[in-house]
Amino acid sequence: MVLKQVIVSDCEAFLDQNRLKKLVAQAAVSYVLSKISVHSIIGIGTGSTTDFFIDELANHRDKFYGAIASSNASATKLAALGIQVIDLNSTSDVEVYVDGADEINPLLQLIKGGGAALTREKIVAAVAREFVCIADVSKWVDELGKFPLPIEVIPMARSHVARELLKLGGDPVWRQGVTTDNGNYIIDIHGLWPIKTDGSLETCINQITGVVTNGLFSHRTADLVFLGTEEGVTTHKPDSNLDGRSS
């Protein structure tokens, strides 16, 4: 009986979280439609919340030109729903980029990469005029770092990078069995909480030879966040009063 109760509880929590993800996806689609024209290109991220966004966006595929995908999985889903997928090398004009996150702080700095698409996500975010993050409220935190920070690394440099990451005080763990769309490995760093908000950690990790990039978005933050909560969808912009705060 206890086991049955646990299974039912977990199922209810999963369904509730999906409900919040769908609500926030709908809100994001409404916002994006107010920003675009039939000539616009939209950046699309990766993950479960983004999947809901893609499903909703497909109902309006005649209202924009096409989409840039941050992963092969998203590209496949977009194409299957009749949305034209565009190579980023063929354009420099991305109106808005919509993606999820694993953690979000009040400065709208993020940890991303739970789905191992962090490098392409950073590239699309860098090109886009506006970066809109969508998530359920569980992703909102006061300080980043309880979620392990993903690092994409060149395979031959995996051990070297792990040794260098140890020097930063974290616990690097190779995400075995995972290869990114770029053919690289992922190392997750545990134990970095709380991460300073000054951007120094993101810069430091990226300077390690063999690192492609890391999943900390402290320099290119989100411009806008839609959070799905039990009270509805809330909208957040960066809290400038916290700028420069360090933990």
Q: Distances from the Cα of 224 to the Cαs of 20, 30, 165, 234, in angstroms?
A: 17, 14, 31, 11
Q: Please tell me the distance from the alpha carbon of residue 24 to that of residue 85, in angstroms, as a whole number.
A: 23
Please say if 121 is a catalytic residue: yes
Closest Cα partner for 134 from 110, 154, 151, 169?
110
Q: Which of 95, 103, 121, 152 is catalytic?
A: 121
Please spell the DSSP secondary structure of 106-158, one letter per residue: TT--EE--TTS-HHHHHHHHHH-SEEEEEEEGGGB-SSS-SSPEEEEE-GGGH
Reported in sequence order, the residue ranges of the chain that DSSP labels E, i.e. its strands, are: 41-44, 66-69, 96-99, 103-104, 110-111, 130-136, 149-153, 171-174, 185-190, 211-214, 216-217, 224-229, 232-236
Q: At what angle do helices 48-57 and 72-80 cross, to 10 degrees?
A: 30
The set of catalytic residues is: 121
